[in-house]
Amino acid sequence: MSAPTESASPGATAPGDAVATHCPYCALQCAQTLTRTPDGRLPVEVDGRDFPTNRGGLCQKGWTSAEVLRASDRVTTPLIRTADGGFREAEWAEALDLVADRLTALQEAHGRDTVAVFGGGGLTNEKAYALGKFTRTVLRSPYIDYNGRFCMSSAAAASNRAFGMDRGLGFPLADLGGADAVLILGSNMGVTMPPFVQHLAGARERGGLVVVDPRETVTARLASDDQGIHLAPVPATDMVVLLALTHVVLAEGLADLHYLEERTHGFDAVRRSVASWWPERAETVCGIPADELRRTARLLAAASPSKGGRGAYVLTGRGVEQMTQGTACVTAAINLSLVLGLVGREGSGFGPVTGQGNGQGGREHGQKSDQLPGYRSISDPAARAHVAGVWGVEPDSLPGPGVPAVQLLASLGREGGPRALLVHGSNVVVSAPNADAVRASLSRLDLLVVCDMVPSETALLADVILPVTQWAEEDGTMTNLEGRVLRRRKAVDAPGRARSELWILGELARRLGVSEGFPDDPRTVFAELARASAGGVADYSGIDYDRLDAGEQIQWPCPSAAHPGTPRVFLERFPTPDGRARMTPVDHHAPHDDVRADAPTYLVTGRVLQHYQSGAQTRRVPELDAAQPAPFVEVHPLLAERIGLTEGEEAVLTTARGTATATVRLTESVRPDTVFMAFHWAGAGSANRLTNDATDPISGMPEFKVTAVAIAPARVPVEVTAP
């Protein structure tokens, strides 16, 4: 049997047939081949498939992805909460009637704004689009947001402000291979998306890989002395590193002044703003020696096109974005990229590394609180008129903007806030910051409905759980970190009574009085999505299933059927009114919850190789769970000795928001003033019981990545007061 290509027919289900699709996890969207097994324990076998992002490779999560399809506790029928706090099985008609009746009663009593929707960055483009449309035309509520607010919102805000567009990487990932230098800030892709690492080989060979991270992560170790530079700043001071690098580039005459004059405006204000961040001053704040800052700036400049180099890239990740100054920090990275003349040139560029599988598409087509399909502003009268025309409604009937995720979750059940919440593709009681407060918010609701494939921690709090199809059980499209639109293809039928969210939304819409406009065929939904996006920043109007099934590699914008797509954006101009990039001066401030006497240590959070997001899926894979079965905290031996911690014992971590317990792992890969926890677990070891829900004022991104913590042996109680 030959390996399938991108044009393999969708929906193949006969034993032995091979179906071409993509991994259900991160935004790399590695290509996979699924072969249906006739009698095996699992419904499909998984193989890697050659594709520009993964080149045939998969990580542990990808290789074991079929395990989740037959999780022992897979939800396969609607469940309704009983009086004793348990659940009972129900027919679809009963469950949907109950949801519709409760929603109708709540809206009649309290107004349309009493219902809110929370989506996910793992939903297909079609489901994300339908969810936004359903919220605004059926519920007619402004209250929708999604867990992508926790992922890309700061990078999106900074990119939109600077470039007039947010498309993650504005270039094919493979372009990185030709660069002399790649600067990575706040991303540990060696763990979060391992096949990415092969694209860094060229920069490593040429000694140009620079990784900025307070931990010596897997990715940071790639930047060894002869293959690059690892800068380990004080947590939350990445901004200072960027300001100092920009200062050196300007002070030493290494900037691309011709590029700045021709392609940007605002440079003078930025030049003045970084003048005070000379390396010696920066060293006192970020802890990076001044000579290392100068060495790094010179390396990046030498790689830039204006100095005859092969090119350079600046990449950002959640480590610099999930902060109250996240938008400003990404802006500082953009300013450095522009000063070096990198953006909009082949072989060079700037890009935030999108995390969730459809984090890009999920925010383009209607899940964000302030956006309509095509990445249009919901406050723009022309955008409202265009989308309303596609939807067949009056523009004035569409609600205005809602509120970002943290604010939405905090308002649940409070006076004037939503009293019902529909959750799709998210496990907020594990993945949201200040998780105990989120759990309390959900408990105040009159109605919680969760669509999920497994009984996640959030689903177990619901009044109704609706079982949904996943990945190998459905057709659809995803948009990866390069803005590449990809086909997800059905290989097997879903177990039991699980149904697509497209079908569920259509059935709920009909019960709520809207009989048309919500088909359950993803091809039909995508065709409407393409029309709705036409003329928008994220224009998909020239893309359809036939082109994708014919094997075309289409990256938006793609405004017509004859258009080949846009692998590299900004080559000629930026999509701003004057075609120039906009530079904005920014400055550093300390984290909202900074270290102090009763919380003297920094807590930083992140991921491990074996688990994904809240762990709701990967914790159900025996191989992955066995490799990382329980919460842990990484502690430097010097810190451990000072506070009396030993390898393998339980430690109690306390912040102003809550307390968590985790097993101590001693390691020199973390700074002595810092401890690290992964956020994949629920319960007593949940890192997000500790994290701060203070948000960036522009993006609404919460400050996951750094907070002040007290850590002590479990036998020694500690107390922490609010900052």
Rounded Cα gap, residues 438 and 131, in angstroms? 22
Q: What are phi and psi of 281, to 5 degrees?
A: -70, -45
d(CA 373, CA 365) in angstroms, rounded, equals 4
Pair of tokens at residue 354: 């999108």
pLDDT at 16 over 80: no
Report the number of secondary-structure helices (H) and strands (E) in the chain: 24, 28
Strand partners, 596: 599
Asked if 53 and 478 touch (Cβ cutoff 8 Å), the reply is no
In the structure, what pLDDT confidence band is assigned to residue 1 with cuts at 50, 70 and 90? very low
Per-residue model confidence as pLDDT tens digits over 632-650: 999 999 999 999 999 999 9
Q: Is the pLDDT of residue 543 over 80?
A: yes
Residues 510-530: what's their mean pLDDT? 97
Which tokens sit at 307? 């100095």
Averaged pLDDT for residues 497-511: 98
Model confidence band, residue 717 (pLDDT cutoffs 50, 70, 90): low
Q: Which residues of 357-394 are buried (b: 16+ CB within 10 A; e: fewer)?
A: bbbbbbbbbbbbbbbbbbbbbbeeeebbebbbebbebe
State the pairing for strand pair 650-654/707-713.
antiparallel
Average pLDDT on 73-83 reads 97
**Sign (positive or negative) of CA dihedral 665, 671, 674, 679:** negative
Q: CA gyration radius for the chain?
A: 25
Residue 673 CB neighbours (<10 A): 16
* Cβ–Cβ under 8 Å, residues 326 and 159: no
Scan for tokens 């309290």, then name that residue.
Answer: 110
| Whole-number pLDDT of residue 585 | 98
Tally of residues, the chain: 723
Cross-sheet strand order for the sheet of 484-488: 476-479, 484-488, 554-555
Q: Could you give phi then psi for residue 119, rounded to 5 degrees?
A: -100, -165
Q: Which two tokens stand for residue 249?
A: 């580039």
Q: How confident is the model at residue 7, as a pLDDT? A: 46
| pLDDT category of residue 11 using cuts at 50, 70 and 90 | very low
Q: Which residue has the tokens 């072989």?
A: 347
What is the C-alpha to C-alpha distance for residues 319 and 154, in angstroms, rounded to an integer? Answer: 11
Q: What is the pLDDT of residue 4?
A: 56
Place of tokens 């920094």: 602
Residue 9, pLDDT score: 39
Question: Angle at Cα 532 formed by Cα 528 and Cα 535, nearest 5°?
Answer: 135
Answer whether residue 111 shows pLDDT above 80: yes
User: CB 291: neighbour CB atoms within 10 A?
Assistant: 11
Q: Do the beta carbons of residue 509 and residue 134 sit within 8 Å?
A: yes
pLDDT at 224: 82
Report the alpha-carbon distance of residue 388 to residue 82 in Å, rounded: 40
pLDDT in tens, 334-382: 999 999 999 999 999 999 998 898 988 888 998 999 999 999 999 999 9
At 314 the three-state DSSP class reads strand
The CA distance from 243 to 239, in Å, is 6
Q: Using an 8 Å Cβ cutoff, are 434 and 658 in contact? A: yes
Residue with tokens 């470039």: 163
Name the pLDDT band for 715 (thresholds 50, 70, 90): confident
> CB atoms < 10 A from the CB of 545, how many?
18
> What does the DSSP assignment read for 427-477?
-HHHHSSSHHHHHHHHHT-SEEEEEESS--TTGGG-SEEEEB--GGG--EE
The answer to whether 432 and 404 are in contact (CB under 8 A) is no
User: Tens digits of per-residue pLDDT, 482-498?
Assistant: 999 999 999 999 999 99
Q: Evaluate whether 208 touches 228 at the Cβ level (below 8 Å).
A: yes
Cis-peptide, bond into residue 557, ω within 30° of zero: yes
Q: How many CB atoms lie within 10 A of CB 415?
A: 5
Cβ atoms of 601 and 675 within 8 Å: the answer is: yes
Q: 3 pLDDT band (50/70/90 cuts)?
A: very low
Q: What is the pLDDT of residue 484?
A: 96
**264-265 and 581-582 beta bridge pairing:** parallel
**Does residue 578 carry a pLDDT above 70?**
yes
Terminal alpha carbon distance of the chain: 63
Distance CA(499)–CA(504), nearest Å, equals: 7
CA distance 195 to 333: 24
- 15 pLDDT band, cuts 50/70/90, is low
Output the pTM of the full model: 0.95
pLDDT, tens digit, for every residue of 246-297?
999 999 999 999 999 999 999 999 999 999 999 999 999 999 999 999 999 9
Backbone angles phi, psi at 377, to 5 degrees: -75, 130
Going along the chain from its start, the domains and CATH numbers come out as 79-151+358-555 (3.40.50.740), 154-352 (3.40.228.10), 601-713 (2.40.40.20)
> Binning pLDDT at 50, 70 and 90, where does residue 92 land?
very high
Who contacts 671 (Cβ-Cβ below 8 Å, separation ≥6)? Answer: 214, 215, 232, 234, 235, 602, 636
Mean pLDDT, the chain, integer: 95
CB 493 within 8 A of CB 565: no
Mean pLDDT, residues 164-179 taken together: 96
Give the residue carrying structure tokens 């040429």: 206
CB contact at 8 A, 183 and 293: no
Nearest partner of 233 among 340, 151, 323, judged by Cα: 323
Whole-number Å distance between alpha carbons of 723 and 156: 29
Q: Which of 235, 277, 380 is nearest to 706 (CA)?
A: 235
Contact 665, 634 (CB under 8 A): yes
**Measuring CA to CA, which residue among 149, 95, 713 is closest to residue 431?**
149
Q: Are 554 and 547 in contact (CB under 8 A)?
A: yes
Amino acid at 327: T
